[in-house]
């Protein structure tokens, strides 16, 4: 019997070069139980490996983007002394974070509601975060006496600075959309009823762009964060030579000369 996509904890849809990954447990505020984490890991890997996918859009159904770990499941496993509870970071969260950060294509997050805990980390892994006015971020880990995961210790200080990152982690609260915009957690804030439209618009623009150039730009920015100027300049030179040999670069030059809009193929 075929499973109804609406019954899946994570939906995966592809339209042309755009893959949309949707958290789909609205009654649980898209909390991440084991089934959802496994489905998310599979969906993210599929999008990363599929060369026809040129941009990934992350979003959620219902009132939340994703509130992180499913605490009901967590409590049950904790009380049962189930060791799988502590394997979930290396087995689920880390692969999702790494794949989102390193896939050779841009990632957009459209936050329809609060992103908390690992949900906030997943949103921060995106290159662009379009945030609904009623949405927000909550680095909720300390509230349940846990350290952070899913890359939040890496992304958060790079977005808001070291001091603010420590504050938000140690004194968790919901950072509402407008403050998130000021801090750099949000790329743009839109009315709730415009979120789906704007998120899709941004993702489609990127899906129709020079995919290999976007991949190189992602790599260059991440590389320079951990290397000195001279080494970063050398890496820029390597990536410039790489992108200079792409079909999209030649198309862009031809389009410039012909005074027309380039038609990028992602190659």
Cβ neighbours around 121 below 10 Å, total: 28
pLDDT of residue 21: 98
pLDDT of residue 3: 60
- Would you state the structure tokens that stand for residue 178, as one six-digit string? 């407008």
Strand partners, 267: none
Which residue range is the domain that position 254 belongs to? Answer: 211-258
- Would you state the structure tokens that stand for residue 207, as one six-digit string? 């899906």
pLDDT of residue 7: 85
What is the rounded CA–CA span in Å between residue 34 and residue 87?
11
pTM: 0.94
* Residue stretches of the chain with pLDDT short of 70: 1-4
Same structural domain, 169 and 74: yes
Same structural domain, 191 and 131: yes
- What CATH number is given to the structural domain containing 51? 3.90.226.10
Cβ-in-10-Å burial (0-12, 13-18, 19+) of 21 comes to buried
pLDDT of residue 85: 85
Biggest alpha carbon–alpha carbon distance for the chain: 68
Same structural domain, 203 and 216: no
Same structural domain, 124 and 222: no
What is the rounded CA–CA span in Å between residue 244 and residue 12?
33
Same structural domain, 188 and 168: yes
Same structural domain, 131 and 185: yes
pLDDT of residue 239: 97
Domain count, the chain: 2
pLDDT of residue 6: 77
- What CATH number is given to the structural domain containing 215? 1.10.12
């Amino acid at each position: 019997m075929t499973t109804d996509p609406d019954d899946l904890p994570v939906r995966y849809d592809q339209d042309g070069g755009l893959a949309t990954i949707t958290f789909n447990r609205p009654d649980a505020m898209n909390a991440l139980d084991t089934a959802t984490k496994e489905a998310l890991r599979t969906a993210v890997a599929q999008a990363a490996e599929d060369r026809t996918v040129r941009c990934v859009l992350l979003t959620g159904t219902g009132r939340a983007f994703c509130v992180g770990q499913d605490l009901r499941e967590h409590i049950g496993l904790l009380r049962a002394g189930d060791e799988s509870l502590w394997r979930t970071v290396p087995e689920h969260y880390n692969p999702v974070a790494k794949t989102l950060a390193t896939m050779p294509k841009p990632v957009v997050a459209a936050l329809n509601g609060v992103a908390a805990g690992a949900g906030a980390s997943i949103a921060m892994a995106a290159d662009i975060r379009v945030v609904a006015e009623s949405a927000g971020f909550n680095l909720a880990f300390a509230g349940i006496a846990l350290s952070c995961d899913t890359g939040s210790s890496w992304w958060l200080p790079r977005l808001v600075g070291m001091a603010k990152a420590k504050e938000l982690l140690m004194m968790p609260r919901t950072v509402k959309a407008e403050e998130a915009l000021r801090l750099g957690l949000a790329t743009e804030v839109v009315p709730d009823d415009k979120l789906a439209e704007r998120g899709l618009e941004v993702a489609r623009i990127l899906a129709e762009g020079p995919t290999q150039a976007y991949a190189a730009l992602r790599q260059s920015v991440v590389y320079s964060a951990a290397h000195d100027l001279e080494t970063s300049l050398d890496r820029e030179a390597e990536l410039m030579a790489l992108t200079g040999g792409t079909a999209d670069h030649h198309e862009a030059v031809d389009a410039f000369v012909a005074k027309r809009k380039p038609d990028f193929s992602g190659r």
